[in-house]
Structure 1
Amino acid sequence: MRISFLLHNGYHIGGTIRTVFTLAAELAARHEVEIVSVFRHRDEPILGVPAGVTLRPLVDIRKNSPGYDGEHPDFHRPARVFPRGDGRWKQYSALTDARIGAHLASVDADVLIATRPGLNVQLARQAPRGPVLVGQEHLILDGHSYRLRRDIAHEYALLDAVTTVTEADARSYRALGLPGTVRVDAVPNSVPAPTVPPADPAAKVVVAAGRLTPVKRYDLLIDAFADVAAARPDWKLRIYGTGDAADNLKERLARQIERLGVGGNVFLMGTAHPMEPEWAKGSLAAVTSRRESFGMTIVEAMRCGLPVVSTDCPYGPGEIIEDGVDGRLVPVDDTAAVAAALLALINDDEARARAAKAALVSSERFDPVRIAARHEAIWTDLVERRAGAAAPRARSHPAARAALHRTVGALLDSAYAAKARAGALVRRFR
């Protein structure tokens, strides 16, 4: 098959990028695979180009590049096809609308895959008849704005398939009432086998990793580990990751560590790339999120032989961890439960070693070979059905659809502006 991925920015780093690159690399052993990046902000991708895969950009935002597009007049005009409800909308423009549309009109592929809701919507609005159209959801439906969910419910009807990373999110998509022609499947993210030896269960280190954002509840983890350190002062907690400087979360966490007097036990390690060697220095992993779209760090830790103590938050941890076997699941926002679960494994060397072995075995189901096979089965079925059909399912002409959505977008913008003015008047005279 000829497979083409459409990605927001393949030159950056992040969970969706890593997942797409890993999947593309595995598929390239058997198929012709390309990744099309809407934006290019640096000369070389941070993660490197996957072996056997072609990577090409549509809009160059490198200021010193001969192909710099920042001076193009359409670069400063708002996007009308890319949906306004997507959180990245301000980064898109009339230029990205045109470049993505031209790419979709000319691409020679059996399967076209977009990888974020805004691009999925644009895929539905602009893609021509013929290729199988797949929208990948790497976040969660319930986490999107009302405006974006409305576009999803309407536009995804023109896709052939939607894949989510959890079964819970797949149920949310099925509840939208999309036509029966749209297949909805849950296929988890893949994580390659680590290139380092498995972690030593005797190591007295708990590892946590991820962006320093409030939803990850690192403040709760530090509070819980203060209780752990009081009982087992020989154990350490290492937290890897950085956050937005404007949030000052790192400074707040550092002050919390100092206030609790656990500076000799809890360490903010910053970013590590690759992360595998750091996982392997621990014997337990901890996740205290209020929500996760999947839980990549859980799988990464398990693949390195670390059982994981995690909050049983929506949507991913409960589909990854088998409670009491390869980790522990605890209630969200429960400091005492996190501390108790950590101490239960810290104080029982044999149980920790058994859980470590179980984590290695159970996490094999997320190997890229297995995950790629699941995607291939879906796409092959859809391609074969398309080939056996009398004609592709009708989609309106991309140019006509784009013009329609420009008009609708302008009307919606006017309506939202009017609503805002009305709200301001109500507040003024209340």
Structure 2
Amino acid sequence: MRISFLLHNAYALGGTIRTTFNLAAALAGQGHQVEIASVFRHLDTPELPLDPRISLQHLVDMRRKHPAYEGGHPLHAQPAVVFPAGESRYRQYSRLTDERIGRWLAGLDTDVVVGTRPGLNVHLARQAPRGLVRVAQEHLTLETHSARLALTLRRLYPRLNAVTTTTEADAAAYRRRLRLTGVRVRAVPNSVPELAVTPSGLDAKFVVAAGRLVPVKRYGDLIRAFAKVVVERPDWGLRLYGAGVQREALARQIGELGLGGHVRLMGQVIPIEPELAKGSVLAVSSAMESFGMTIVEGMRAGLPVVSTDCPLGPGEIITHGVDGLLVPPGDCDAMAAALLGLINDDDRRHAMGRAALHTAQHYDPDRIAGLCAALFEQLLAERRGLRRHVTGHAVGAAYAANDLAHAAVRRAKRALKAR
């Protein structure tokens, strides 16, 4: 098969980029012809390693000191009309990106085109030739999208052939809320390659955590929980990897709690996997995880995981009491107790670490690529069998009209109440 991926920016860092590169490499390894188009390019080379078998091109050059820089293009000063206004990245898009993405889609010589964020999936729905199999990937969750964007997706996603989510819970939400008649909605988890280093021996006295230092990760909760851990086990430490807007606040919190000798902010490290393998337990304190790449990466390193049972990913990855422990979000006492339960019990920690290694195999890139390839082949077979995807546009328009009618009724009721 010929498979084309459309990414926001393949030259940056991020979970969507990493998992797309992993999947593309695995598909190429299975004999498929794979290409990636990056809407934007701000560096000469990608931050993350890309398999040389994969073709990479960019659509808009944003390298400021490069002769090809297009940030000053007249069309880039005009707001986008195809990329949806309800999408969080909307201000980065423009009439220039509308034109470039549309031109790229129109010229594709491929079997399957895959979008990797809602705004790009809308481009697929509106601009991709009908002869292509069009697949929308959801790397966040439906719940995280604005009501305005959800309405747009409900209207346009019926033009697509399939939507894939990273969890079964999110797939169920798409089926229930968007009612995508004629569109296959499948849960396909992210893939995580096997470590290039030896898994942890689980004897180092460190808990590790990794991710962006942003509010949703709730690292302040983890630090408060670890303050309780060191009261009982002052010989253990916490290493927190990542960069972000909360670094200074977290550093102050560490100082105020007197944890300077126990909790270290390690900064952003690439690759992260060898650092995870230096720890003995992985901690995840998030309020929300659309999937949980770090959880699987920790399991690949042989670490048992203590995680909040937040929506949506952790509970689908971790089997409580087998390869990790799940605690209520925001419950620092429960997090501390779970960490101490593994710190104080070597046998249990090692048993869960072995189970975590086994669980991680479920996310092997070859397996996940096989799931994707099977879905793509099925969709292609339907195309070739002339089972045309003809009802989606009409169904989507009907649902959108219904939504707009209900919205008008609600506005009228509010106006009456205000009188």
Unpaired segments of 5 or more residues in structure 1?
A: 397-411, 413-418
Segment of structure 1 superposing worse, 162-171 or 250-259 = 250-259
**CA 1:252–1:179: 2 relative to 1, 3 Å:** closer
Quick check: 1:10–1:45 contact (8 Å CA) kept in 2? Answer: yes
* Residue type of the alignment partner of 1:132: V
Partner of 2:83 in structure 1? 82
Tell me the distance in 2 between the aligned counterparts of 1:275 and 1:70. 33
How far has the Cα of 1:50 moved from its partner? 1.8
Tell me the distance in 2 between the aligned counterparts of 1:382 and 1:395. 15
Match of 2:368 among 353, 371, 388: 371
Partner of 1:12 in structure 2? 12
How far has the Cα of 1:241 moved from its partner? 0.4
* Residue type of the alignment partner of 2:20: V
Tell me the distance in 1 between the aligned counterparts of 2:391 and 2:331. 52
4+ aligned runs moved over 3 Å, structure 1: 390-396
SS at structure 2 position matched to 1:188:
coil
Match of 2:288 among 288, 291, 295: 291
Whether 1:22 aligns to 2:22 is: yes
Tell me the distance in 2 between the aligned counterparts of 1:13 and 1:62. 16
The superposition leaves residues 161-209 of structure 1 with CA deviations (integer Å, 9 ceiling, x where unpaired) of 0000000100110012434310000000000000000101111100000
Query: What is the TM-score of this pair, normalised by structure 1?
Result: 0.90
* Residue type of the alignment partner of 2:3: I
Partner of 1:403 in structure 2? none
Quick check: 1:210–1:240 contact (8 Å CA) kept in 2? Answer: yes
How far has the Cα of 1:137 moved from its partner? 0.1
Quick check: 2:114–2:135 contact (8 Å CA) kept in 1? Answer: yes
Partner of 2:170 in structure 1? 169
Partner of 1:333 in structure 2? 330
Partner of 1:255 in structure 2? 252
Whether 1:193 aligns to 2:194 is: yes
Whether 1:387 aligns to 2:384 is: yes
SS at structure 2 position matched to 1:81:
coil
Tell me the distance in 2 between the aligned counterparts of 1:171 and 1:321. 19
SS at structure 2 position matched to 1:364:
helix
Tell me the distance in 2 between the aligned counterparts of 1:354 and 1:49. 35
Tell me the distance in 1 between the aligned counterparts of 2:105 and 2:303. 43
Quick check: 2:159–2:389 contact (8 Å CA) kept in 1? Answer: no
Matches within 5 A, 1:272-421: 272-389=269-386, 393=390
How far has the Cα of 1:395 moved from its partner? 8.5
Whether 1:271 aligns to 2:253 is: no
Matches within 5 A, 1:30-109: 30-109=31-110
Tell me the distance in 1 between the aligned counterparts of 2:214 and 2:178. 33
Quick check: 1:243–1:250 contact (8 Å CA) kept in 2? Answer: yes
Partner of 2:396 in structure 1? none
Tell me the distance in 1 between the aligned counterparts of 2:387 and 2:173. 32
Segment of structure 1 superposing worse, 283-292 or 170-179 = 170-179
Cα RMSD after superposing both structures: 2.1
Quick check: 2:23–2:191 contact (8 Å CA) kept in 1? Answer: yes
Segment of structure 1 superposing worse, 169-178 or 301-310 = 169-178
Quick check: 2:382–2:388 contact (8 Å CA) kept in 1? Answer: no
Partner of 2:401 in structure 1? none
Quick check: 2:182–2:392 contact (8 Å CA) kept in 1? Answer: no
Tell me the distance in 2 between the aligned counterparts of 1:310 and 1:3. 35
How far has the Cα of 1:49 moved from its partner? 2.7
Quick check: 1:156–1:178 contact (8 Å CA) kept in 2? Answer: no
SS at structure 1 position matched to 2:208:
strand
Segment of structure 1 superposing worse, 278-287 or 175-184 = 175-184
Whether 1:140 aligns to 2:141 is: yes
SS at structure 2 position matched to 1:264:
coil
Partner of 1:407 in structure 2? none
* Residue type of the alignment partner of 1:26: A
Tell me the distance in 2 between the aligned counterparts of 1:280 and 1:390. 49
What percent of counterpart residues are identical?
A: 58
Partner of 1:223 in structure 2? 224
How far has the Cα of 1:143 moved from its partner? 0.3
Tell me the distance in 1 between the aligned counterparts of 2:22 and 2:80. 30
Quick check: 2:133–2:380 contact (8 Å CA) kept in 1? Answer: yes
SS at structure 1 position matched to 2:177:
coil
How far has the Cα of 1:68 moved from its partner? 1.6
The superposition leaves residues 195-236 of structure 1 with CA deviations (integer Å, 9 ceiling, x where unpaired) of 000101111100000000111111110010011001000001
Tell me the distance in 2 between the aligned counterparts of 1:313 and 1:330. 9
How far has the Cα of 1:64 moved from its partner? 2.1
Partner of 1:125 in structure 2? 126
How far has the Cα of 1:42 moved from its partner? 0.7
